[in-house]
């Protein structure tokens, strides 16, 4: 594909990534009424927050000459990044190879294939997530003309959120007359939390940025892979290279069953069909808001939608266990603040 055509394709993609609406969910939790604000990231090009990072990384790499027209994009992912790069690769005429743990949802695999990408599944025995990363590196060395986005170590991942997600959130809250007091988000690569934290600090906002992890698999708290969990897209078995836990507020934990129940409730009661990590994020934000006695605006992310989870426990009856928060969350209403201006990805 010619440089001109690639540039035209990038221009065509930009308005479809970022500038997502802010959904302010009004709820009652254990007798207190309050609001949590969430960026509706499922409205991006391929339906997840990862489109911001993938488009920004492709754009930067093209500008710097690291992603030539004949390069193959090779990445390890728990799904959404693979979907994002598969779509961008198709639009930009680049072949894409995706390494992914084989336990991720069937929908993820089918969507990646639908964009014509080559998907290679890695079992637990073959190394799971870390095996996927090692395979991507090996293929990169073998193939030659390859571009490795390396989302877990690439500062451009943080930059995508520092220049778009964070500033959009601050501007949208400002239109509601609010300044963020805290932000909570599940950590996959950590790009979202690190980028939003960077945006806050650049804008002079002293807000607590809390990483979130599944209670069943507290990798951030323990420093290594522990247990298994069902919140696909977060806690990928190791601490990512771009995550600086010492620069962030304390880690928040949410049970995966509770996250499933919360996501189901958002779909059934408000028509917000979100994925499991979005349910976890809302519960994490409620924990933080409750601790602050609902006195400070707390924001989070609805990372993707529920369509990639129809073959998973999200579409099944989930048992309520003691200690769960979601049965005590009464969803009342929501208000939406659109984003202003052009996409800056």
Least distance in angstroms from the C-beta of 145 to ligand PMP:
27
x/- mask, ligand PMP, residues 222-261, rule CB under 6 A, reads -----------xx---------------------------
**Residue 333, phi then psi, degrees to nearest 5:** -170, 170
Least distance in angstroms from the C-beta of 140 to ligand PMP:
20
Helices (H), the chain: 3-13, 50-63, 80-92, 106-114, 128-143, 155-160, 166-175, 191-202, 219-222, 256-270, 276-291
Least distance in angstroms from the C-beta of 16 to ligand PMP:
18
Question: Does 279 contact ligand PMP by CB under 6 A?
Answer: no
Q: What residues pair up with 298 in beta bridges, in sequence order?
A: 182
Please provide the distance, in angstroms rounded to a whole number, between the alpha carbons at the two ends of the chain: 22
Question: Does 217 contact ligand PMP by CB under 6 A?
Answer: no
Question: Does 163 contact ligand PMP by CB under 6 A?
Answer: no
Centre a 10 Å sphere on the Cβ of residue 96 and count the other Cβ atoms it contains.
23
Q: Which of 39, 48, 50, 326 is catalytic?
A: 50
Q: Among residue numbers 62 through 101, which ones bind ligand PMP (CB under 6 A)?
A: 78-80
Least distance in angstroms from the C-beta of 299 to ligand PMP:
15
Among 192, 217, 264, 287, binds ligand PMP (CB under 6 A): 192
Nearer to ligand PMP, 34 or 261 (CB): 261
Among 18, 47, 131, 186, binds ligand PMP (CB under 6 A): 186
Residue 300, helix vs strand vs coil: strand
x/- mask, ligand PMP, residues 295-334, rule CB under 6 A, reads --------xx------------------------------
Q: Which of 24, 132, 277, 278 is catalytic?
A: 277
The span of 15-23, 25-33, 120-128, 187-195 binding ligand PMP (CB under 6 A) equals 187-195
As a whole number of angstroms, the distance between CA 33 and CA 26 comes to 7
Question: Does 105 contact ligand PMP by CB under 6 A?
Answer: no
Least distance in angstroms from the C-beta of 7 to ligand PMP:
27
The span of 87-95, 184-192, 218-226, 314-322 binding ligand PMP (CB under 6 A) equals 184-192
Cβ atoms of residues 261 and 250 within 8 Å: no
Question: Does 275 contact ligand PMP by CB under 6 A?
Answer: yes
As a whole number of angstroms, the distance between CA 78 and CA 247 comes to 25
Least distance in angstroms from the C-beta of 78 to ligand PMP:
5
39 is catalytic: no
As a whole number of angstroms, the distance between CA 223 and CA 218 comes to 8
Question: Does 48 contact ligand PMP by CB under 6 A?
Answer: yes
Least distance in angstroms from the C-beta of 282 to ligand PMP:
12
Cβ atoms of residues 56 and 345 within 8 Å: yes
Residue 95, helix vs strand vs coil: coil
Centre a 10 Å sphere on the Cβ of residue 86 and count the other Cβ atoms it contains.
27
308 is catalytic: no
Question: Does 187 contact ligand PMP by CB under 6 A?
Answer: yes
Question: Does 50 contact ligand PMP by CB under 6 A?
Answer: yes
Residue whose structure tokens are 């836990």:
245
Centre a 10 Å sphere on the Cβ of residue 225 and count the other Cβ atoms it contains.
16
Centre a 10 Å sphere on the Cβ of residue 261 and count the other Cβ atoms it contains.
24
Among 188, 257, 279, 284, binds ligand PMP (CB under 6 A): 188
Residue partners of 52: CB distance under 8 A and separation at least 6? 17, 18, 41, 44, 160, 161, 164, 165, 345
As a whole number of angstroms, the distance between CA 183 and CA 197 comes to 8
**Catalytic residue numbers, as ranges:** 50, 277
Q: Footprint of ligand PMP on this chain (CB under 6 A)?
A: 48-50, 78-80, 186-192, 233-234, 275, 277, 303-304
């Amino acid at each position: 594909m010619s440089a001109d055509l690639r540039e035209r394709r990038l221009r065509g993609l930009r308005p479809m990534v970022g500038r997502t609406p802010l959904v302010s969910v009004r709820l009652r939790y254990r007798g207190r009424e309050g609001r949590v604000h969430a960026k509706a990231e499922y409205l991006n090009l391929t339906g997840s927050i990862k489109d911001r990072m993938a488009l920004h990384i492709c754009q930067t790499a093209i500008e710097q000459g690291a992603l030539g027209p004949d390069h193959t994009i090779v990445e390890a992912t728990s799904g959404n990044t693979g979907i994002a790069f598969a779509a961008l690769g198709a639009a930009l005429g680049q072949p894409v190879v995706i390494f992914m743990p084989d336990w991720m949802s069937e929908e993820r695999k089918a969507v990646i294939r639908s964009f014509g990408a080559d998907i290679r599944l890695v079992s637990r025995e073959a190394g799971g997530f870390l095996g996927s990363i090692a395979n991507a590196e090996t293929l990169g060395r073998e193939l030659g003309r390859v571009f490795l986005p390396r989302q877990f170590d690439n500062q451009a991942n943080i930059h995508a959120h520092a220049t778009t997600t964070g500033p959009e959130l601050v501007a949208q809250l400002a239109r509601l007359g609010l300044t963020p007091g805290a932000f909570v988000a599940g950590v996959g690569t950590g790009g979202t939390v690190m980028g939003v934290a960077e945006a806050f600090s650049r804008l002079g906002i002293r807000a607590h940025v809390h990483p979130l992890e599944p209670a069943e698999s507290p990798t951030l708290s323990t420093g290594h892979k522990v247990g298994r969990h069902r919140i696909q897209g977060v806690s990928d078995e190791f601490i990512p290279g771009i995550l600086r836990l010492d620069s962030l507020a304390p880690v928040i934990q949410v049970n995966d069953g509770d996250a499933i129940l919360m996501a189901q409730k958002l779909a059934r009661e408000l028509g917000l069909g979100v994925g499991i990590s979005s349910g976890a994020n809302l519960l994490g934000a409620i924990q933080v808001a409750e601790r602050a006695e609902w006195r400070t605006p707390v924001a989070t992310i609805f990372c993707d939608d529920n369509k990639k989870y129809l073959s998973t426990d999200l579409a099944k009856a989930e048992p309520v266990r003691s200690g769960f928060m979601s049965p005590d969350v009464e969803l009342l209403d929501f208000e939406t603040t659109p984003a202003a201006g052009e996409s800056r990805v």
